Amino acid sequence: MPDSRPPVGAEALALRPHPVEAAPLDLTVAVRVLGPAHDGHWHLHYTLSGAIDLLRLPALTTAGPADELWRHTCMEAFVQDADGPAYREFNFSPSGQWAAYRFRTERAREPDGPPPAQGPDIRVEHGPRTLTVRVRLPRVLLPDQPGVMGLTAVIETRDGAVSHWALHHPRPERPDFHHIGGWTHRPPRPQSPSALPSA
């Protein structure tokens, strides 16, 4: 059986709340982008640490595509084509639901086609003060030549307050995840099987 494990040791990238919003003080959000592996699939691990008990989390439900996941606690990723300006947006809910959208340019969304045969696989792990959302993002959902990447999260607390987290916030007056100025991560190229760690 082919070894489809992703490379290990990826750096944890810290997300920061937008400065105009009141985010939970005792909370950190970090993302590790593992891969792409030699089979082309990506693995994204979002880890929330700290005041997990203050968060409002969507209830676990049947996995599958859904819209408006960003209205509640949701992990996100934006991946631009290497030659731009087209890009993909992905939403990963702790409920197990997900969304995948295509855009021609900033916020100019392509019409929805049929649901993909293979969607993201989302696994959630709870600890006393941690919540980890592990996502396996199939290669078929990504651009042919992935380029720069934006990593973001929407965090909702039990009192209904919502904060927006990103690697970088290009607009000081308001959150804007679709602004290319906030996409600062460039994932590595796929590794060959011989470069992957052995068991």
pLDDT tens sequence for the chain (199 residues):
334 444 445 889 999 999 999 898 899 999 999 877 777 889 999 999 999 999 999 999 999 999 999 999 999 999 999 998 999 999 999 999 999 999 999 999 999 888 888 999 999 999 989 999 999 999 999 998 999 999 999 999 999 999 999 999 999 999 999 999 999 999 876 544 444 444 3
Total number of domains in the chain: 1
- Position of tokens 């089979």? 39
Q: Read off φ and ψ for residue 194, nearest 5 degrees.
A: -70, -20
Closest among 141, 138, 163, 167 to 152, alpha carbons compared: 167
Residue 92 lies in a domain: yes
pLDDT value at residue 80 = 97
Range of the domain at 178: 13-188
Residue 47 lies in a domain: yes
Residue 7 lies in a domain: no
Residue 175 lies in a domain: yes
pLDDT value at residue 6 = 41
pLDDT value at residue 177 = 98
Residue 193 lies in a domain: no
- Residue 53 belongs to a domain with what CATH number? 2.60.40.1190
pLDDT value at residue 74 = 98
pLDDT value at residue 121 = 96
Residues facing residue 46 across a β-bridge? 31, 133
Residue 196 lies in a domain: no
- In three-state secondary structure terms, 154 is strand
Tell me how long the chain is.
199
Closest among 44, 146, 129, 140 to 91, alpha carbons compared: 44
Count Cβ neighbours within 10 Å for each residue of 131-140 and write b for 16 or more, e otherwise.
bbbbbbbbbe
Residue 40 lies in a domain: yes
The strand pair at 64-65 and 74-81 is best described as unpaired
